[in-house]
Amino acid sequence: MTSPGETRATDRAQSLVGRVKPYVPVFVKRPLQRALPVRYRHYFDPEWHRRTIGNMPHWDYLGPIQLDYLVERGLEPHHQLLDVGCGPLRAGIHFIRYLEPGHYVGTDKRGDVLETARLVELPQHGLEAKEPLLVADERFDFGSLGRTFDYAMAQSVFTHIPLNSIMRCLVEMGKVLRLGGKFYASIFENTHGKLYVDDIQQSETAVTHYDRDFYHYDLDTLRFACEETGLTLGYEGDYGHPNNEKMLVFTRN
């Protein structure tokens, strides 16, 4: 827990940086931000961890809709939830508040972002007592978590990774999802089929690609990725994402 003295020191440092920043050229600020050790970044930008994910202007929208979506599909406080690619807890804060203590697990490849979210977001929302488990993991090693799950969510994860990584995720998810459990994952959809290799304009700001980030996928390819994982694919479609991502559900049979 942060002491009152540490809080005051942080406030003073952030106030000083705030007064200086307008006079520092962008070509100086950006390299400085990148070079700054993680433990000092909050002095320069209190929300730096939030900026590590996209759609920052939609922070207050994209978090709650994920909870609402799963609650509408049966998520209850006693269920165990795995939040894949949870990042700085944009949705995690809402899941943690809703679930019983110890029932939320968030994984992400950025351990520094998880640590800052633990130190900043959880106290800010008064949720330390909910005891969420936050684990740095870039290989979808869900078995190492030592538990099984009723629900899982991966919003805007498959949109950034190649097919082999999706297959790894599904293989590992099949090992930890309980019988009848649901794994919801969003994608950019390629409605033209797997032979279509051109770019697709998904929204005013999002263009997706066949073989690079942002990735798009056709459903037949993802059904192939499910084979022998114990999961079956269902298509949910639009769920209100501002860049036209679509929702899939993988069910453990």
Q: Give the model confidence (pLDDT) of 109-153 as tens digits.
A: 999 889 989 988 899 899 999 999 999 999 999 999 999 999 999
Q: What was the pLDDT predicted at 10?
A: 47
d(C-alpha 52, C-alpha 54), whole Å? 7
Question: Is 51 inside a domain boundary?
Answer: no
Question: Is 42 inside a domain boundary?
Answer: yes
**How many domains does the chain divide into?**
2
Across 87-99, average pLDDT: 96
Structure tokens of 180? 């009848």
Structure tokens of 27? 């070509």
Reply yes or no on whether the pLDDT at 38 is more than 80. no
**Alpha carbon distances (Å) from 190 to 157, 167, 181:** 16, 18, 26
CATH number (domain holding residue 232): 3.40.50.150
Side-chain half-sphere exposure of 136, counting CA atoms within 13 A? 9
Q: In terms of domains, do 137 and 233 share one?
A: yes
* β pairing state of 207-208 and 216-217: unpaired
Q: In terms of domains, do 82 and 22 share one?
A: no
Reply yes or no on whether the pLDDT at 17 is more than 50. no
- The label of the residue with tokens 């629900």 reads 151
Across 30-41, average pLDDT: 57
Q: In terms of domains, do 36 and 79 share one?
A: no
Q: In terms of domains, do 36 and 73 share one?
A: no
DSSP string covering 184-239: EEEEEE-TT-TT--S-EE-SSS-EEBSSSSSBEE-HHHHHHHHTTTTEEEEEEEE-
d(C-alpha 57, C-alpha 181), whole Å? 32
Residue 76 belongs to domain spanning: 56-252
Q: What angle do CA 180, 186, 189 make, to 5 degrees?
A: 120
Question: Is 91 inside a domain boundary?
Answer: yes
Q: In terms of domains, do 60 and 98 share one?
A: yes
Report which secondary-structure segment, H or E, holds 152.
strand 149-154
Q: In terms of domains, do 92 and 192 share one?
A: yes
Q: Residue 71: count other Cβ atoms within 10 Å of its Cβ.
A: 14
Question: Is 226 inside a domain boundary?
Answer: yes
Helix (H, G, I), strand (E, B) or coil at 133: strand
Tell me the per-residue pLDDT of 138-195, one tens digit each, with 9 for 90 and over.
999 999 999 999 999 999 999 999 999 999 999 999 999 999 999 999 999 999 999 9
Q: Residue 136: count other Cβ atoms within 10 Å of its Cβ.
A: 13
Q: In terms of domains, do 80 and 106 share one?
A: yes
Q: In terms of domains, do 62 and 21 share one?
A: no
Supply the pTM of this predicted model: 0.81
Reply yes or no on whether the pLDDT at 4 is more than 70. no
